[in-house]
Structure 1
Amino acid sequence: MKISLLVNTLNEELNLENNIKPLAYLFDEVVIVDMSSEDNTFDVASSFATKVVSVERMGYVEPARKLGVETCENQFIMILDADEDISENLKKLILDIRAGNVSLENKVLYIPRKNRMIGKDIEYGQFKADSDKQLRFFDKNSVEVTKEIHKGIRSKVNTSSLEYKDGYYIYHYHSNTAIEFVSRLVRYCEIECNKQKGNDSFSVSGCLKAFIREYFRYQGYRNGRHGFALAFILAIRTFLNGRKM
């Protein structure tokens, strides 16, 4: 079975070099859709990718991702972001699938994502690997791909999930500092809020519930001070999502 790797980029020259380029050997095709980067991303991508496509910057990835899926020649596609890597067991599984040593029960796979946030691997809360499974491996005829932010790919068939405890996961280098985390959050919330219709509202109880849910219900406190920071940031997200920006 042939597999394409799809990566969307925006100013990711270092991440491409460090994370994605070393993975190219795992795939039959590497497609990179670059959203008008201002650094050397395009040149780095061209040094190892099968295809590099440049598109207009939209502020969010979904339109470029849809184009990327359409550009991939192979039926099966794996998607990674430039700030992601994959575990050794997942690398072996990809090679086994390509070699025909493993047959897939379903044509759409959810893969656990281990998040490194604010400089720490997150083991508890909503961002732990078992809770953050991503639809990243699929037969492109078995999914619907849209341009809507955070809703870009939806399965049309039954799905399967890989398990973190078995060593299958994507490693996500999300953020090194709280400021980096919040800046990303504000960018996405601005896009989402500008699309919203209705009242400009703010709920104190909603913010408190977001904090309590992450910190206590999902045991984010077990992440230490990082867990408190993440719960606080999620409360901020609830506030931002209720405001027109």
Structure 2
Amino acid sequence: MFFKKIHWLILYNKDIVMNNITVVIHTYNEEKNIEDCIKSAWLLIKNVLVIDMESEDKTTTIVKNLQILIYNFPKSSYVEPAREFGIKQVKTDWVLILDADERISKELAEEILNVIASEAKQSQSKQEIASSPSAPRNDNVTHFKIPRKNIFGQIKWLKHGGWWPDYQIRLINKKYFVNWPKRIHSTPKIKGGLGCLKNHLIHYFHGNLEKMVEKTVVFEDIESDLLYKAGKTANTPTFLRKYFAEFYRRMFKDLGFLDGTIGIIESIYQAFSKTITYLFLYEKNSKSRTL
């Protein structure tokens, strides 16, 4: 009897996962990352969607060769619109959002399977007691944040400087998803309670200095637009204050120096990025005064 129960639970877990989760990956010129990302997603489930934002390299060819369903989406400077679009294409109850430079570990995949099976069993129990409400109760966990292990250039795990645990809301019950605000680095709006997973995503970032600076310029220009529209201004004291405040936070308050040379480099670079935002803001303010 005991072994029959265990066997039923294994089949139940497998059935729940096969029918209730999709992995959504957004891409733009990710030919070096996308295959490994998809193969890591297969540790969890074969049901994968790729939302491609007009890639100009071999990304889409690689995706098609892996027989993955791909949707075309207009090119954007940030990923949030593509993420929302991808979630809306999903037919399953649960969705896991991945960046192309992220990987799922075997341990995380197993934890997600267990979480989905557990949530499904709890939902079934509630339905037996009473009919489901139109909106989730406060104690109903509908989305989960996942810690992210940031690895600099595939050589160094950054444990300090504000880089760990770097929680990301990525596992979502689609029924309670509202929207993903169209702002860079925004948090999705989801009804219901937030849970937390133990195991982590793996994130390989800053592997190429040229692309790193290129991405920084794009992102900080967008950030400066938000500040400009909010009526903010910048001057020389602002540049110095923002640079040293960010450097102090990363390097000393968050102990970035404990990560050695890479930690020091990242502390300097993040301070540089913050300063670039306000240089862009200064430029926008200057142009508006000359009109």
With structure 2 as the length reference, what TM-score do the two structures score?
0.75
Cα drift, residue 139 of structure 1: 0.6
Counterpart residue type for residue 77 of structure 2? G
Cα drift, residue 25 of structure 1: 5.2
Among 3, 25, 29, which residue is 2:47 paired with? Answer: 29
SS class of match (1:173): strand
The range that moved more, 172-181 or 12-21, is 172-181
Distance 1:234 1:188 in 2: 12
1:95-106 pair list within 5 angstroms:
95-97=113-115, 100=117, 106=141
Cα drift, residue 97 of structure 1: 4.4
**For residue 239 of structure 1, what is the aligned residue in structure 2?**
275
**For residue 162 of structure 1, what is the aligned residue in structure 2?**
197
The range that moved more, 26-35 or 74-83, is 26-35
Counterpart residue type for residue 62 of structure 1? E
Please give the root-mean-square deviation of Cα atoms over the aligned residues, in Å. Answer: 2.2
Counterpart residue type for residue 109 of structure 1? F
Distance 1:3 1:79 in 2: 11
The 8 Å contact of residues 29 and 49 in structure 1, kept in 2 or not, is answered as: no
1:222-233 pair list within 5 angstroms:
222-233=258-269
Distance 2:118 2:46 in 1: 16
Distance 1:169 1:25 in 2: 14
**For residue 212 of structure 2, what is the aligned residue in structure 1?**
181
Would you say 1:73 and 2:106 are equivalent positions?
A: no
Distance 1:177 1:230 in 2: 13
Among 103, 118, 124, which residue is 2:160 paired with? Answer: 124
Distance 2:218 2:55 in 1: 17
**For residue 208 of structure 1, what is the aligned residue in structure 2?**
244
Distance 1:25 1:46 in 2: 19
Would you say 1:218 and 2:232 are equivalent positions?
A: no
Structure having the larger proportion of residues in helix: 2
**For residue 107 of structure 1, what is the aligned residue in structure 2?**
142
SS class of match (1:32): strand
The 8 Å contact of residues 43 and 104 in structure 2, kept in 1 or not, is answered as: no
Among 106, 121, 131, which residue is 1:88 paired with? Answer: 106
Bigger radius of gyration among the two: 2
Would you say 1:47 and 2:65 are equivalent positions?
A: yes
Q: Deviations over 1:140-162 (max 9, x none)?
A: 23233222221151333221112
Distance 1:162 1:94 in 2: 8
Cα drift, residue 3 of structure 1: 0.3
Cα drift, residue 13 of structure 1: 2.1
Over 3 Å counting, the alpha-carbon distance change for 1:38 and 1:16 in structure 2 is same
The 8 Å contact of residues 108 and 159 in structure 1, kept in 2 or not, is answered as: yes
Task: Could you tell me which runs of 5 or more consecutive residues in structure 1 were left unpaired when the two chains were aligned.
Answer: none
The 8 Å contact of residues 124 and 220 in structure 1, kept in 2 or not, is answered as: yes
**For residue 8 of structure 2, what is the aligned residue in structure 1?**
none
The range that moved more, 4-13 or 41-50, is 41-50
**For residue 135 of structure 1, what is the aligned residue in structure 2?**
169
SS class of match (1:65): helix
Distance 1:86 1:25 in 2: 7
Cα drift, residue 238 of structure 1: 1.9
Q: Deviations over 1:96-146 (max 9, x none)?
A: 345x36768622100000001244211112012x2x000000112323322
Task: Could you tell me which runs of 5 or more consecutive residues in structure 2 were left unpaired when the two chains were aligned.
Answer: 1-15, 123-139, 284-291
With structure 1 as the length reference, what TM-score do the two structures score?
0.87
